[in-house]
A and B are shown apart, each in its own frame.
Chain A
């Protein structure tokens, strides 16, 4: 999975920033995507490309449980969010609906990766390659069931053995 990075160097990006409350009545996912990240970065919609990744600090996706948050990012083209840590509900929303991959990273990756860097992420070997900087980082592996839900393509396609 290859893509370029949009970096937000801060902690606690909450779901109200990812998709502001006034859009929660919107059912159309394409329209939701137009307002993704609007609370923090009004230019997000014009700069995001299909396949991009977001890189951010701790506690990404905290606040309101709205599943609209990963949906808006996913329909903007975001394939994965790389963060130092995630809030639980955002994490599970992202995985359960197969909207995007929430990838936990370490400090080295967080400080080393810059805006615009091209990454190649391989979740099978828990590796993130920075093609721009020619560096490799480890990602934190998914737990067993989370990995299985991702592989199945979402919670409702997942069948436990």
Chain B
């Protein structure tokens, strides 16, 4: 039987495999930022450990960075301390840092692709749930917690439970691509499969509605795989992917031969089996508007906000969640008015 793209990348990175247990997976790139790393570096120090592969570890500060006046001292003391701590940790452990004044500094999930650090077929981790963004390039990218950050720093590997492959097909053409964006596509998917719909899976997005998208739009889709409850999202690389990464600052020198390999190998086989499938037709979707407090609580801008009773077919928690959200959004009174009409 054939393999899915996810299974191919996973299998290529297994260091230790055991039945019914997590596998030890090799990590190709580790991105580090200031919020989820201080305790991890403290842990290394306490145990006298070094960073196993500083050359595969890249750090930047992004969460606590002022958006203007970077030449001035940072007023928020706790933010300033986190930034200084990352500077010291990178110096002590020999890790390349794109600091607050570096032209390469930026949102950690964005600079990976922009600098050509994110490569198809690789495994990427970062102490940030939205690491799934890199999946747009056909990389298997996971968000991890601080203990796992420490584990990757020390060993360049992670114990991971093998997720199940989930195929989401996005079919058709958007009628108005200026109004209906990648964000509307992923929000429509989450509205339908729910915020836990992807639990335990890696989603592969396929179909015309995906290949039509730019790399930035694909990043939006993969980014929000987390809001669908998935561990990661993936899109098989194509000519758009290869073109985007060509000639970037850290794009490997043997890039064209890598592209030849990726083109032939980084795709799901025709006879591969997915655990789960879902298809979204984009022809008729409208921009999504939130009526609630989680990313699954949206409706088409042309629809009306749902009544809690609309969820009574599902489980009780869904109905209760809708009631609470509508109350929080102060839409419950408006709905009562509609009802009394």
Q: B129 is contacted by which of A57, A89, A143, A154 (Cβ under 8 Å)?
A: A89
In the complex, B21 has a CB within 8 A of chain A: yes
Residue contact B36 to A59, C-beta cutoff 8 Å: no
Residue contact B78 to A26, C-beta cutoff 8 Å: yes
Residues of chain B within 8 A of A12, CB atoms compared: 195-196, 294, 321
Proximity string of chain A (1-32) to chain B, C-beta cutoff 8 Å, 1 when within and 0 when not: 00000000111101000000000111100000
Q: A62 is contacted by which of B35, B64, B148, B196 (Cβ under 8 Å)?
A: B196
Tell me the bound Cα distance from A35 to B147 in angstroms: 22
Q: A154 is contacted by which of B147, B199, B320 (Cβ under 8 Å)?
A: B147
In the complex, A93 has a CB within 8 A of chain B: yes
> From residue A9, how far is it (CB to closest CB) to chain B in Å?
7
Residue contact B129 to A155, C-beta cutoff 8 Å: no
- Within A80-121, which residues are at the interface with B (CB < 8 Å)? 85, 87-90, 92-93, 96-97
Residues of chain A within 8 A of B20, CB atoms compared: 143-144
Tell me the bound Cα distance from A144 to B79 in angstroms: 40
In the complex, B145 has a CB within 8 A of chain A: yes
Residue contact A143 to B199, C-beta cutoff 8 Å: no
Q: How large is the interface on B (under 10, 10 to 19, 20 to 34, 35 or more residues)?
A: 35 or more
Q: Which residue of B lies closest to A94 (CB)?
A: B145
Tell me the bound Cα distance from A77 to B76 in angstroms: 30
In the complex, B96 has a CB within 8 A of chain A: no
Residues of chain B within 8 A of A160, CB atoms compared: 16, 24
Q: Which residue of B lies closest to A107 (CB)?
A: B315
Q: Which residue of B lies closest to A98 (CB)?
A: B147
How many pairs of A and B residues are in contact by the CB < 8 Å rule? 114
Residue contact A155 to B21, C-beta cutoff 8 Å: no
Residues of chain B within 8 A of A9, CB atoms compared: 316-317, 320
Q: Which residue of A lies closest to B79 (CB)?
A: A25
Residues of chain A within 8 A of B47, CB atoms compared: 156
Q: A89 is contacted by which of B143, B159, B196, B318 (Cβ under 8 Å)?
A: B143
How many residues on chain A are close to B (CB under 8 Å)? 36
- Within A26-58, which residues are at the interface with B (CB < 8 Å)? 26-27, 57-58
Tell me the bound Cα distance from A105 to B316 in angstroms: 17
Q: B147 is contacted by which of A11, A57, A97, A143 (Cβ under 8 Å)?
A: A97
Q: Which residue of A lies closest to B85 (CB)?
A: A27
Residues of chain B within 8 A of A155, CB atoms compared: 147-148, 151, 159
Residues of chain B within 8 A of A156, CB atoms compared: 43, 47, 147, 150-151
The prevalent SS among residues of A at the interface is loop
Residue contact A67 to B146, C-beta cutoff 8 Å: yes
Residue contact A65 to B143, C-beta cutoff 8 Å: yes
In the complex, A126 has a CB within 8 A of chain B: no
Residue contact B64 to A25, C-beta cutoff 8 Å: yes
Residue contact B35 to A59, C-beta cutoff 8 Å: no
> From residue B195, how far is it (CB to closest CB) to chain A in Å?
5
In the complex, B161 has a CB within 8 A of chain A: yes
Q: Knowing A10-B317, A96-B147 touch, does A143 contact B195 (C-beta < 8 A)?
A: no
> From residue A122, how far is it (CB to closest CB) to chain B in Å?
22
In the complex, A152 has a CB within 8 A of chain B: no
Q: Which residue of B lies closest to A17 (CB)?
A: B293
Q: Which residue of A lies closest to B82 (CB)?
A: A25
Q: Knowing A25-B79, A65-B128 touch, does A92 contact B148 (C-beta < 8 A)?
A: yes
In the complex, A64 has a CB within 8 A of chain B: yes
In the complex, B54 has a CB within 8 A of chain A: no
- Within B1-31, which residues are at the interface with A (CB < 8 Å)? 16, 18, 20-22, 24
> From residue B137, how far is it (CB to closest CB) to chain A in Å?
20
Residues of chain B within 8 A of A25, CB atoms compared: 35, 64, 76, 78-79, 81-82
Residues of chain A within 8 A of B18, CB atoms compared: 144-145
> From residue A62, how far is it (CB to closest CB) to chain B in Å?
6
In the complex, B134 has a CB within 8 A of chain A: no
Tell me the bound Cα distance from A74 to B268 in angstroms: 42
Tell me the bound Cα distance from A155 to B47 in angstroms: 13
> From residue B267, how far is it (CB to closest CB) to chain A in Å?
26
Tell me the bound Cα distance from A160 to B63 in angstroms: 35
Residues of chain A within 8 A of B39, CB atoms compared: 67
**Which residue, B18, B63, B78, B196, has most C-beta atoms of chain A within 10 A?**
B196
In the complex, A123 has a CB within 8 A of chain B: no
In the complex, A66 has a CB within 8 A of chain B: yes
Proximity string of chain B (317-341) to chain A, C-beta cutoff 8 Å, 1 when within and 0 when not: 1101100100000000000000000
- When A and B form their complex, which 9 residue pairs have the shortest distance between CB atoms, in order from nearest? A96-B147, A93-B145, A59-B196, A25-B78, A67-B146, A144-B21, A65-B129, A67-B145, A65-B143
5 contacts between A and B (CB under 8 A): A12-B196, A25-B81, A57-B317, A149-B159, A155-B148
- Besides A65-B36, A92-B147, 4 more A-B contacts (Cβ < 8 Å) are A26-B78, A64-B128, A93-B145, A154-B147
